[in-house]
Structure 1
Amino acid sequence: MATYLESMQTYFKNNGKTREFSAHSSKVHSVAWNCEGRKLASGSYDKSVNVFHLDRDRLSKDVTFRGHSDSVDQLCWHPKHPDQLVTASGDKTIRLWDARANKSIATVNTKGENINICWSPDGSTIAVGNKDDLITFIDAKTHRSRLDQQYHFEVNEISWNRDGDLFFMTSGQGCIHVLSYPDLKSQVVLNAHPANCICIEVDPKGNYFATGSADALVSIWDIRELACLRTISRLDWPVRALSFSHDGKMLASASEDLVIDICEVETGEKISEVPVESPTFTIAWNPKKHLLAFACDDKSERDRDRDAGTVKLYGLPGEH
């Protein structure tokens, strides 16, 4: 009987096709699936947000949201509501949107240019980080700030664990700061990497988290023991984005390398790699299927008009 590694290697060997869809007029900064895996949202340098629905093996555009006056740098969907999403922009606001009603629910003014955003697992709180290393916790119902937390080190990405009682931050010193939530008391500072720790992702099953660093390494951690289990060293450039598959068994890693690495979490062994033509800064596994969405940096000026603003899908949307 084939192992998981072998079966998935065979699956992607047979189904490892990349399809490309026009989404924006310029670079796509963020892609994310809703909790049902039926809709994909993309945010762009062109200040807009697009929502697509997955129609068999292709993406069809549902709606374009406009309202931000600067680049949309990151977005995420409500963890339980399939039609609500939130976007973070350099215009010093976050916006909540309703994909079903095709409109903005709320605009929340913040204190800086926002670069990171995440939703608590219960959907009650939104955390947003800005370029000045200030984290603001916002009540998702009242749209009011609950707390501002200023840090005196470079804060990169932020995330809750699946239980919502721990809050993680990656830092420019290569550390992972683990705080209790909601009191935000420091529990431990993990020396994860010798270089800037850029991104963090928690697996859907709540067993692991992974970090990516400027040292080109990916580290996989036991989330309960807060112990590093293994490192992945196949990439050559800083790791910019990570995503776990819906079963928590695969991890995709993206960088300025011209491949996206897909590994088995349990062993770190390579399952597949996705060829790309330019650096990749955002990736997202579908929460129900072995289907990876991603977007690449715009290529050279000569190719920019043709390649700008595209969203790509790797794999097939059918269940495996």
Structure 2
Amino acid sequence: MAPTQSTTNKGANFNCASGLVKISPAVSQALSQGKAVVALESTIISHGMPYPQNLKTAKEVEAIVRENGAEPATIAILDGMPCVGLTSEELERLATLGTKCQKTARRDIAHVVGIPVFVTGGIGGVHRYGENTMDISSDLTELGRTPVAVISAGVKSILDIPRTLEYLETQGVCVTAYKTDEFPAFFSGQSSCKAPCRVNSPEDCARLIDANLNLQLGAGILIAVPIPEKHSAVGSVIESAIQRSLKEARDKNITGNAQTPFLLARVNELTGGASLASNIALVKNNALVGAQIATCLAQLRQPKVTCSKL
């Protein structure tokens, strides 16, 4: 759920926002006109998938967002400048650099420029044995202080899902599941954890986000969308690979922000690519749902015109 940083950008064509953030012309125009915009992470490009699947997926995800009425805004830090909306060349640069890019923290760049909807694969969480290691993703703290709605496939089962949900509750984050009563576990629609609440349509999500913004509660919203059923059939195989990968990570003392990339890569190896196919499918589905939500929200927040009798 993070932007990534690269030092290889060569003068991209962006508009500047107060000289601190560069916004692509298409995103800037959409924001100024009150149209739907969906923020997209770049970590999935650099750290989530191997090349060339990462580039192909990034372009397909952006296309899905556009096809459903919203403008995609992939976020990355290039030459030390937060950029909102990337060119095809910049997407390719991130994809080819891969893990040579550095993962960064603060997740609220989208909020800074006024984008209320952020789509990702899965958020970070409390790592297993986190009660001893205190290894907790900053995603959770950021959700507690940034009023952005994050659309994800829940929390990866490589993490401690019950403790993650408890931590989100402590942070005051509204957690809801999309068209299901059970909180999804990334590769699987089931986690054995009941979702705190449920929403059944993009319109429901838009009203929830609108209320949160109007009340100025200050915290974010997590909308957990289960992976499409046809892509979750290999869930038990993936879960077995996850357990083996977790043991290998402990044996090799792989911790911190190096753990998740290692686990995802190892799980993909053990499942013969099945986990990567599922990952791509859920990201595309999240983009579809996120764009629908953003479009409904933009319509809901359009200025109301009132008429008076003369």
TM-score by length of 2: 0.28
Of the two structures, which has the highest relative contact order with CA contacts closer than 8 Å and spacing of 6 or more? Answer: 2
Flag the structure with higher strand content: 1
Structure ranking higher in helix proportion: 2
